Amino acid sequence: MERSAVVIGSLNMDIAVTVERLPAEGETLQGVGLVEAPGGKGANQAAAIGKLQTPVRMIGKVGADRNGAALLQSLEASGVDTDAVLTSSGQPTGVALVTVDRAGRNHIVVVPGANGELTKDDIDSRADIIEQCDMIVLQLEVPLETVAYALRKAKALGKTTVLNPAPARKLDDELLQFVDFLIPNEHELQTIAELDQIDEQSIERAARLFGEKGVGALIVTMGERGCCYADRSKIKAYPARKVNAVDTTAAGDSFIGGFVAGYLASRDADTAIRQAQIAAAITVTRHGAQSSLPTRQEVEALWQVRTNSTA
């Protein structure tokens, strides 16, 4: 039977404006473009996995509105099973306000809406779906107590767990003990590990610290600097692929989707990281969130190019 994933997390409608440069504090700038597109870290990661033709289901909550309907439609078009997504009776679908400059840098503000209503009871009501999968993927755009509860439940069922600690916040030991792969970007790692700077030495120290708390491995994404894998016994750096980045909005989500799909297929973190890097590299060359995520065929084509060039 083909291995599968469940993503538990947020669904947001992204409202993105393009500017020449990001504004300074208190400054008003004129935008040069406005786009509404399906997003949310949970939904983006589910879509990233689905586009890579790995079986994936989504657990989350939307409002009873047109944004919610559009998000579900987008996920289904990406190959995601949305039967487990709930509808709030009192909150609208979450919204993310995104500002992107010409260099692809961005600022994002999220209004949670229905995402903030995802509860432990909702996780219990979808327990059969968790039992049927191999890997659980979570982020921090739904209530933290729900994330911790889902991680605990997943580990009790023997599932491999992935946590993307975004938006960054301090995490307690009770939650960390249920995480197999902790995948922050460098800025998120600075917050959750209370680091002054990010380099191989600080990542190695953070991996040992998190390992003592129960985390299996730490994978840090660092944009143009590539990424780094570390656990309690080793550390390995992965240089970034050189691309012309135009929008980094969903880069981290694409990386996680590529990692999950790769790990489910190979059960090898090194192979999964290399696939994740290819997926993210494709994503940043396009505008948007889910619309920028690559297909399995696109990733395989670049993987073949990489294999041939290193043969």
Contact criterion met (CB below 8 Å) for 250 and 292 = yes
Q: How many CB atoms lie within 10 A of CB 6?
A: 27
Please state, in angstroms and rounded to a whole number, the distance separating the CA atoms of residues 64 and 87. 6
Q: Provide the H-helix boundaries in 84-185.
A: 120-125, 127-132, 144-156, 173-176
Residue with tokens 């003990």: 177
247 annotated to a ligand binding site? yes
Count of other CB atoms within 10 angstroms of residue 63: 24
Residues 6+ apart with CB under 8 A from 249: 14, 16, 39, 98, 100, 106, 108, 288, 289, 292
Among 122, 180, 231, 253, the one annotated catalytic = 253
288 is in an annotated binding site: yes
Report the distance separating Cα 57 and Cα 102, nearest Å.
34
161 marked among binding-site residues: no
232 is in an annotated binding site: no
**Annotated binding residue 121:** no
Please indicate if the annotation marks 40 as binding a ligand.
Answer: yes
Mapped onto helix, strand or coil, the DSSP state of residue 10 is coil
Q: Is 135 annotated as a binding residue?
A: no
161 bridge partner residues: 136
244 contact partners, CB below 8 Å, separation of at least 6: 285
- Rounded Cα gap, residues 84 and 46, in angstroms: 13
Any binding-site annotation on 292?
yes
12 marked ligand binding residue: yes
Q: In what order do the strands lie in the sheet with 12-19?
A: 33-39, 12-19, 94-101, 106-111
Backbone angles phi, psi at 218, to 5 degrees: -115, 130
Residue 44, annotated as binding a ligand: yes
Place of tokens 């040069």: 32
Report the candidate in 97, 96, 138 with the shortest Cα–Cα distance to residue 118.
138
Tell me whether residue 221 is annotated as binding. yes
**Residue 224 labelled as part of a binding site:** yes
| 222 annotated ligand-binding residue | yes
Helix, strand, or coil (residue 114): helix
Check whether 122 is labelled as a binding-site residue: no
Annotated active-site residue 253? The verdict is yes
Binding residues for K(+): 247, 249, 283, 286, 288, 292
Q: Which residues are catalytic?
A: 253
Which residue ranges make up the annotated binding site? 12-14, 40-44, 141, 185, 221-226, 247, 249, 252-253, 283, 286, 288, 292
Which residues contribute to the annotated binding site for ATP? 185, 221-226, 252-253
User: Binding site for substrate: residue ranges?
Assistant: 12-14, 40-44, 141, 253
